[in-house]
Structures are given as C-alpha cells and as structure tokens.
Amino acid sequence: MKIAKTYSHMNSEEYLIVHHQSLYNEIKKVIANVDAQACKTNVRKEKKMPGQVLYSPTDLNASFKQQFESLAWK
C-alpha cells in the first residue's frame, strides 16, 4: 500500500515529523508493508454491479494490526 494523499488535522503530521520522527517512520513502514491486493476480497452483491471485488475493511484492519503488532505496538 502507498500513501497517495495526506491530510494533517491541526498540523499533526508536522508534529510527528518534528517531535516523533522514529514513530512517523514506523507508521510509513507499516503502510508500505500492507498488501492491499490481498485484502481485495469483498464481493458486491448489489444489483448495479454484481460480482465486483472491493477492498475488505476487516481484512485491511487485520493487516494493519498484524504489521503494528510485529513492531511491538499495542
């Protein structure tokens, strides 16, 4: 997965970069390590586009959790 765009609410990204650079680098590393294509498992059942495969939020959350736990985050 890659970071396409960022939104920094109340300059939080800048705060992390200046005051917690190592944590910011770990977060970017986790995002880069998540395989988004493996999380594309949600098949649509609606009438308009049946069978379209979308990203599964639960699979994405599980992937992020696994990556953060591997870095000893709680």
**Per residue in 29-52, pLDDT tens?**
999 999 999 999 989 888 888 889
What is the domain extent for residue 17? Answer: 9-70
Q: Establish if 1 belongs to a structural domain.
A: no
Tokens 């379209």 belong to residue? 52
Q: pLDDT digits over 49-74, tens only?
A: 888 999 999 999 999 999 999 999 87
**3-state class (DSSP) for residue 48:** coil
* Domain-embedded: residue 4: no
pLDDT on residue 18: 96
- Asked whether residue 29 is domain-assigned, the answer is yes
Global pTM exceeds 0.85: no
Q: Is residue 50 part of a domain?
A: yes
Residue 3 lies in a domain: no
For the chain, what is the domain count?
A: 1
The predicted model gives 7-32 an average pLDDT of 95
Instruction: Using alpha carbons, select from 35, 30, 31 the residue that is nearest to residue 3.
Output: 31
